[in-house]
Amino acid sequence: MRPSRAAAPAQTPPPQPSAPVVLQTPRFEPPPQKATFQTPLLMDRDSGVRRLGFYLTLIYLFLRLTGLHEILAEKTGMNIYLMYVIGTPALICMVVGNGLRRALHARAAWYFVGFAAMLLLAVPFSDWIGGSTAVVLTYFKANMFVIFLTGGMILSWREFRTMLSVIMAAGVVTVIIGFAMHDTVAGRTEISDGMTMGNANDFAALLTLLVPFVLIALTAPGRGNVVRVLLTGVVIGAVYLILSTGSRGALVAMIGAVIYGIANAPGHRRVQAVVVVLLAGLLSVGIASVALPRVVSKRLMTIFTPSAAATDLEEESALESTEARKYLAVQSLLFTLQHPLFGVGPGQFSNHEGSSARAEGLHGNWHETHNTYTQVSSEDGVPALIFFVASLVAAYRLVKSVYRRAQRMPATLENQQIASAAYWILIALVAYSASIFFLSLAYQFYTPALVGIAIALHRIAHSRWNSPAPQA
């Protein structure tokens, strides 16, 4: 008889995970990334408003760089306030289209905001509050917001190239204006038809700023030979006009930009750059000795001539101008020490200098500082100068990082174009920063425009390379 089999205990089935597992099982999720400049905003949803703002920005840049709106008003005797017609809707599109937010993801923009804030704080401490108020209001209405147009309304490399083409076209038109509409005052070339930058020194500085953008188009990979020949003629014409203004500051800026360009040219291009510069130097010497009026060539030569060597009235006049600028530089530094926090008031250096000299029984110079850096420090205070210089330095670092990275990237046509654009924009920044050492341009639109261009290039280039963009 077989023993009876004991009933097997009921087996408990293994526990089953609750469904769905994914919803109950904790998983590691990276923390949401805060929107910083390292996370480019090219992924922002585009809109028709933003695109409209982009095209308005191009028109605004072209008109401001060429001064055509001023020439038109002067010739017709009718001011239609074209800058407000274009600038006001561009500003609205910039705000609605997130241009403000994009630009402010760079430290360079915040430094410039700091500079603008110091202008506002300086007004109550001004020698003439009403005059400073007018200066600051004009700056905010017409110039300061350009940093957000150029820095925030350009979303792609294609759009950035279009903007470069517009600036290049502005350079070509400015050279044409220089030959077609110039006047000669004491032998020096200037544009007297109502242009803000029509003064000989200002016009030379404008050309010095625009020439590198013409060279971007001239040296761009894949450019046709016919276009290269035409643009070479434009560059030669621009060099002639710069020399014909007799602006020693522009000449110094050109020399500094050339030295910087050679030092920072790619290794395999450095010998080529030296040869081109030598040929350009010989051309400039030929222009100065043959085509320029004697008074202008004498004026330019005083850069290399000590004051004791003045032999005629032309040299004596140029040296007197140099002495006047030295006096203004000393006075601006003195006013900076006397009013270090808020200065004597935006736009009030000439009034303060003249009044101070008259109080001492002197005639006074009653001129601007002829130096943007001491203009800022003496009129707006040392903190304003720190913000102003910091914005230029930060813009330089942004472009420099793009240039270095582009040289390490695969040598595609696009990367070569980015590297070439960054190289010439660096030269434009150096030339401009040097030229304003001899001019009072603190409240013009050129600085915010350049800083905004640097911000846009940095954001776009690093976004296309799909890597975090180091902040500068």
Q: Angle CA(105)–CA(110)–CA(114) in degrees, nearest 5?
A: 170
* Pairwise CA distance, residues 213 & 238, whole Å: 12
Are the CB atoms for 56 and 93 separated by under 8 Å? yes
First-residue to last-residue Cα distance in the chain: 95
Of 109, 213, 242, whose CA–CA distance to 427 is shortest?
213
CA distance 158 to 456: 12
Residue 96 lies in a domain: no
Residue 314: CB partners within 8 Å, gap ≥ 6? 294, 295, 298, 299
Return the structure tokens found at 229: 């020949």
Number of helices (H), then strands (E), belonging to the chain: the values are 20, 2
62-79 core/surface letters (b: 16 or more CB in 10 A; e: else): bbbbbbbbbbbbbeeeee
Domain region containing 177: 105-138+156-390+407-440
298 lies in a domain? yes
pLDDT recorded at residue 266: 80
Supply the pTM of this predicted model.
0.86
17 within some domain: no
Question: What's CA 367's distance to the chain center, in Å?
Answer: 25
CA distance 297 to 315: 10
Say how far apart CA 314 and CA 305 lie, in whole Å.
13
What is the structure's pLDDT at 15? 53
Which helix (DSSP H) or strand (DSSP E) does residue 190 occupy? Answer: strand 188-190
Residues in the chain: 472
How far apart (Å, rounded) are the C-alpha atoms in residues 295 and 273? 32
The answer to whether 343 and 336 are in contact (CB under 8 A) is yes
Distance CA(470)–CA(472), nearest Å, equals 6
pLDDT at 1: 45
Number of domains in the chain: 1
Q: Specify if 124 maps to a domain.
A: yes
Rounded CA gap, 447 and 453, in Å? 10
pLDDT for the residue 314:
58
Q: How far apart are CA 303 and CA 249, in angstroms?
A: 9
32 lies in some domain: no
Consecutive 10-residue averages of pLDDT for the chain (472 residues): 48 52 44 40 66 96 92 82 89 93 94 96 95 95 94 95 97 95 87 81 94 91 85 92 91 90 79 73 72 82 62 60 84 95 95 86 82 96 97 97 93 91 95 94 95 97 72 54
- Measured in degrees and rounded to the nearest 5, phi and psi for residue 190 equal -150, 165
In a domain? residue 150: no
In a domain? residue 109: yes
The reply to whether 445 falls in a domain is no
